[in-house]
A and B are shown apart, each in its own frame.
Chain A
């Protein structure tokens, strides 16, 4: 990977007619596994991930995002993939637009996505996206994260995630309004900047119709899970 990175760098820095052949804005590539963790859910051990990759330059980037969860021994319970174009619109904010594909639960759902990602005052990392789907369905997802430094390498990071839907969609088990909310607290140790194992706790709750659907299917509507995993990027 390092080699590929170097090649991309070399390519993007060469051929420039600038002083000394320097380009301040090289084409870069980044893969970031924000979460890769095991959760001790009531229903068994689950594997969850939240990964992003981007390629581009300072102000324009192409993003791939994926998050999901899989119960051990079973298939993927939840999973989506987003392809987004992002453009910097303010010192700390990027506008993102593109497509989201929910490949689990079935049937698949496709959405047009439009949102913002950035650093809010008081250093909150915010990712807020609105979605427009088939037959006029609308949805929204919000994630807010903060980092509290115990030491230079030991970092506590509280996080809030929530989803909203405009219409009931019984087939995939989501209902109108706030469908679910998760509060996470993860304590990571950055062995190096790029690699940090963590432990934490994750509380989630399903609300309204979404909770009803889950109950009807014999599932849980709320859980407190202990998690352990790692964060990785390059």
Chain B
């Protein structure tokens, strides 16, 4: 279907479940919760039925996967401290499952077939009973962990009310669940990606961009900027595998044409619980005209931070509080590749809407996103006189002259700062001011930079003088399994980029949330230092559409074996050009932001392209756990089983 056709059908304003409430705005007031279009179920006992149903998001009727006839699945509203019992009946013709995402529970209740202890999926026609004590509060979600059922609709919100009073107040509480719908069969989507990995990408750079670049930058600079991408056979527009070409982006199950509506009265504080329940889509969320105060991330309270915009990776959740004035506001969630958006309206009057802003321009990936930005050195070498490399302008670096094979980092672990392998004679760094740099770089050969990483970093200004790189040994090692047809890129200089909002959000004039902003409200839960560190590389071949961890896909991988009671540091190195939301089941990921005293806890952590990031895990849950990238079509290969004993 062509994009124009899609826009046309969206214009038809088709309702998701065709479940028009038929209520006047008056009666809507009486039952604002119903506005979610997802029923809310409460209490401790639940009967959930997984089934198939005709849905119509685009003008073409399709079969969706529903829970109790709802897509998205109903909102489950639990209470912290309760024991919940959920009887899940599977009416599908195939095996199914429900995984309670972000919920800390025994392995046997986690709902991942053949990994969770004793659980092998819910066979057709049977009922499986989950039962566990709810040990936390906040915003979470649930979804199928079988086949591609999550893509066809099996996902829903979980809201857990806390036992203790909340550290903030609000008058109204809405779930805002973002997701992506395709009329195509997900197995066909996957097959298409395998046959032509850029099948859905209609945002490539074309003749027009080239002419513009030539005019603005001249031939030499245009060539030098593009040369490396062409040599590496990669696209600067490889932002999303599956796009608005086939996706209709949904907000609470509503298409952009319909738009979800949340009502408020003037002066009210509104809590919005954003959940990204997509199969494949990252969203950049903002509400033009409103500041959002982020109060929780992945269900856990954080110190309030006021932002204009945030990026929400697949499976993440953010709770924000807004204080709208007397008017309508558009909740605008554009996909990371700007191929479409989900939309809703906050309004005091159901008949009132606000303007929908235009999408931002399609961004280009940069050398930073390839882990090629050597200004990382500036950071790690803070305090080494005359070594500030931040000023190095990579746009002026003619990387073309550089032998990329030589940069193959088995020889040149830039992360570890062993610069010996870097052949400067081959680097045509035309236009770059080499004066300050040349010297310091010479001095670096042979120097063990690892030792330096650990040295004191007088950074001044911050109360906790720590840089994230202090946490890790600093050495990036690409395993031998990363070399082969299954891996087409290895990041040369993967940086900690906690304060980088990411491609498309840099310097956009808005205050954008970054991981560096996240500070646990109550202080670090487990202040222990890690006992050991595990480095996991996120790898893939984007051309062949193969995904793996350390170059080894799930089928061929041994489980990770962790010891009960140990404290781990996981360091992720992203050797691809895509963002990967990494999700660890059963245990918290204590994200190392640089502030040891207020480490935020997450269940899903975005690892930016060409970057590294680390978190601590207290291994306190026995049994089998899934550990994977939450992009559905990456997950099949980019997956590990964790066995805790």
| CB atoms of B147 and A13 under 8 A apart | yes
In the complex, whether B207 has a CB less than 8 A from a CB of chain A is: yes
Q: Which of B146, B488, B639 contacts A92, CB < 8 Å?
A: B488
Contact A19–B113 (Cβ < 8 Å) = yes
Chain B proximity mask over A189-207: 1 for CB below 8 Å, otherwise 0: 0011100000000000000
Q: Which of A19, A22, A151, A192 contacts B207 (CB 8 A)?
A: A151
B488 to chain A minimum Cβ distance, whole angstroms, is 4
Contact among B146, B206, B487, B488 with A149 in the assembled complex (CB-CB below 8 Å): B206
User: Which of B207, B231, B488 is in CB contact (< 8 Å) with A150?
Assistant: B207
The reply to whether A59 and B485 contact each other, CB–CB distance below 8 Å, is yes
What mask results when residues 82 to 117 of chain B are scored 1 for a CB within 8 Å of chain A, else 0? 000000000000010100000000000000111100
**Which residues A5-22 have CB closer than 8 A to chain B?**
5-6, 9-10, 13, 17-22
Residues of A within 8 A of B637 (CB): 24-25
The digit string for B144-184, where 1 denotes a CB below 8 A from any CB of A, is 11110000000000000000000000000000000000000
| Choice from B114, B115, B187, B641 contacting A13 with Cβ under 8 Å | B187
Q: How far is the CB of B637 from chain A (nearest CB, A)?
A: 4
Chain A residue nearest in CB terms to B196: A193
Tell me the minimal C-beta distance from A85 to chain B in angstroms.
15
- CB of B21 within 8 A of chain A? no
Give the residue of B191, B233, B635 whose beta carbon is less than 8 angstroms from that of A5.
B191
Say yes or no: A21 contacts B146, CB within 8 Å. Answer: yes
The answer for the CA separation of A30 and B541 in the assembled complex, in Å, is 19
Q: B306 near A: Cβ within 8 Å?
A: no
In the bound complex, residues from chain A placing their C-beta under 8 Å from that of B485 are 59, 88-91, 93
* Given A19-B639, A91-B543, A149-B207, A24:B233 Cβ within 8 A: no
The minimal Cβ–Cβ distance linking A18 to chain B, given in whole angstroms, is 7
Q: How many residues of A contact B (CB 8 A)?
A: 40
Q: How far is the CA of A6 from the CA of B186 in the complex (A)?
A: 11
Q: A21-B147, A24-B553, A59-B485 are in contact. Are A92 and B233 (CB under 8 A)?
A: yes
Interface membership of A128, Cβ < 8 A: no
CB neighbours of B191 from chain A (8 A): 5, 9, 26, 28
Residues on the A chain within 8 Å of B131, using CB: none
Distance, CA A93 to CA B233, complexed state (A): 12
Complex CA gap A111/B208 in Å reads: 45
Give the contacting residue for B206; candidates A23, A59, A92, A151; CB below 8 A: A151
Task: Name which residue of chain A comes closest to B637, CB basis.
Answer: A24
A123 engages B636 (CB within 8 Å) = no
Segment among B197-205, B293-301, B344-352, B462-470 that sits at the interface with chain A: B197-205
Q: A58 an interface residue at 8 Å Cβ cutoff?
A: yes
Residues 146-184 of A at the B interface (beta carbon under 8 Å) = 148-153
CB of B113 within 8 A of CB of A122, answer no
Query: Which A positions have Cβ atoms within 8 angstroms of B?
Result: 5-6, 9-10, 13, 17-26, 28, 30, 58-59, 88-93, 119-123, 148-153, 191-193, 233
Contacts A59-B485, A193-B192 known; 8 new A-B pairs at CB < 8 A: A13-B187, A20-B146, A21-B95, A21-B113, A23-B636, A88-B544, A90-B485, A91-B544
Q: Which residues of B contact A (CB under 8 A)?
A: 2, 95, 97, 112-115, 121, 144-147, 185, 187-188, 190-192, 194-196, 199, 202-208, 230-233, 484-488, 541, 543-544, 546-547, 553-555, 626, 635-637, 639, 641
The 7 closest A-B pairs by CB, nearest first: A24-B636, A88-B485, A91-B488, A24-B637, A20-B146, A149-B206, A152-B202
Query: What are 8 contact pairs spanning A and B, CB under 8 A?
Result: A13-B147, A17-B114, A18-B554, A18-B555, A22-B636, A24-B547, A24-B554, A91-B544
